[in-house]
């Protein structure tokens, strides 16, 4: 029994500091149930672990912070844009405070972390989470179409800021 439990936990383990979130519990449950039933599927990985704090403005983040990425020994670049200077921020007027910050692993040219603060900071996080999960090259992200005028379009400005150096 103990061996079976340990084997199941091995499928979902991710080290300390994962965060006690409902979406983590649900994600781990799916994998544990699959493992118990002997069904195929990937083990857990937490590269694109998101979290949202429902303050005003909302604070969403996914993956590594700049500090955590540097702690892991990664060569890091960051790109930032202020939401009020985006078109959607300008249209929104009062309550448009926020920013988008991107953390790039410079050697691989992919995002490893992002923070999205703003009126719908948690929603804007989705595209960034996909980019981190799928390791979409930053150059590819820079040459895609961002709907106008949306808050997520500010991601394009943050990607441009990554290349300022
Ligand atoms: C006030 C509050 C707000 C939160 N807001 C958010 C949020 O906005 N977003 C978010 O992602 N997370 C939020 N969380 C955290 C989230 O609720 C937990 O991370 C999540 O519920 C953990 O799920 P779980 O299944 O691991 O544990 P639980 O949901 O705690 O479930 C454990 C279950 O096991 C049962 N149990 C315990 N011991 C035994 C036993 N010996 N035998 C049988 N049954 C037992 C308990 O009764 C319980 O039903 C919040 C938590 C709190 C307290």
With bands split at pLDDT 50, 70 and 90, how would you rate the model's confidence at 165? low
What is the pLDDT averaged over residues 49-59? 97
Residue that wins the pLDDT comparison between 113 and 16: 113
Nearest CA to ligand 1 atom 20: 22
For residue 1, is pLDDT > 90?
A: no
Give this prediction's pTM. 0.92
Give the integer Cα–Cα distance in Å for 132 and 47.
Answer: 7
Tokens of 93: 């007027």
pLDDT digits (tens, 9 = 90+) for 56-89: 999 999 999 999 999 999 999 999 999 999 999 9
Domains of the chain: 2-37 (no CATH), 50-162 (3.30.390.30)
CA of 25 to the centre of ligand 1 (A): 8
Choose one of 21, 29, 33, 59 to mutate for the ligand 1 pocket test, by most ligand atoms within 8 angstroms of C-beta: 21
pLDDT of residue 3: 77
Q: What is the pLDDT of residue 7?
A: 79
The burial of 75, by beta-carbon neighbours within 10 Å (0-12 exposed, 13-18 middle, 19 or more buried), is given as exposed
pLDDT at 16 over 70: no
How confident is residue 18, by pLDDT bands cut at 50, 70 and 90? confident
Ligand 1, from 18, 20, 53: best to mutate by most atoms within 8 Å of Cβ?
Answer: 20
Contacts of 113 by beta carbon, 8 Å cutoff, 6+ apart: 61, 62, 63, 64, 65, 66, 68, 69, 102, 103, 132
- Locate 124 and state its tokens: 């804007």
Better pLDDT: 51 or 15: 51
């Amino acid at each position: 029994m103990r061996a079976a439990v340990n084997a199941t936990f091995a499928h979902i383990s991710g080290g300390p500091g994962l965060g006690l979130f409902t979406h983590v519990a649900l994600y781990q449950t799916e994998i544990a149930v699959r493992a118990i039933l002997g069904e195929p599927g990937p083990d857990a990985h937490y590269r694109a672990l998101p979290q949202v704090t429902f303050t005003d403005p909302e604070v969403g983040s996914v993956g590594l912070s700049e500090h955590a990425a540097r702690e892991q020994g990664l060569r890091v670049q960051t790109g930032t844009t202020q939401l009020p200077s985006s078109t959607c921020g300008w249209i929104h007027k009062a309550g448009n405070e926020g920013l988008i910050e991107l953390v790039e692993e410079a050697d691989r040219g992919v995002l490893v972390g992002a923070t999205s603060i703003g009126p719908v900071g948690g929603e804007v996080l989705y595209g960034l989470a996909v980019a981190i999960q799928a390791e979409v090259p930053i150059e590819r992200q820079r040459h895609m179409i961002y709907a106008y005028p949306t808050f997520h379009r500010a991601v394009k400005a943050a990607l441009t800021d990554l290349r300022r150096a």
